[in-house]
Amino acid sequence: MAAQAAAELTAARAELHLRSELASRDAIGQAKGLLMQRCGVDAARAFVMLQTLPQDLNVAVARIAERIVEDHTASP
């Protein structure tokens, strides 16, 4: 019974991780599009911008992307 519970716990953790990764990927894509529009850059340059900010601020790329999207949706 303990083995079954451990297997189910592992599966649940894997599913949560996958959902988190998919949400992060979506936020990064949205942020990349916003940077392309705002800064007049192509997709490759927007992605480099997204990678550079977290290095300077010691924050995850996904969190920076979420903030860009949040700021955009909060703007009138």
In the chain, what's the furthest Cα-to-Cα distance? Answer: 58
Distance from first CA to last CA of the chain, Å, rounded? 55
Under DSSP, the state recorded for 64 is H
Contacts of 61 (CB under 8 A, 6+ apart): 24, 28, 50, 51, 53, 54
The residue-averaged pLDDT of 42-68 equals: 86
* Residue 56 pLDDT greater than 80, yes or no: no
pLDDT single digits (tens) 20-52: 666 788 899 999 999 999 999 999 999 999 888
Q: What percent of the chain has pLDDT over 90?
A: 30
Say whether pTM exceeds 0.75. Answer: no
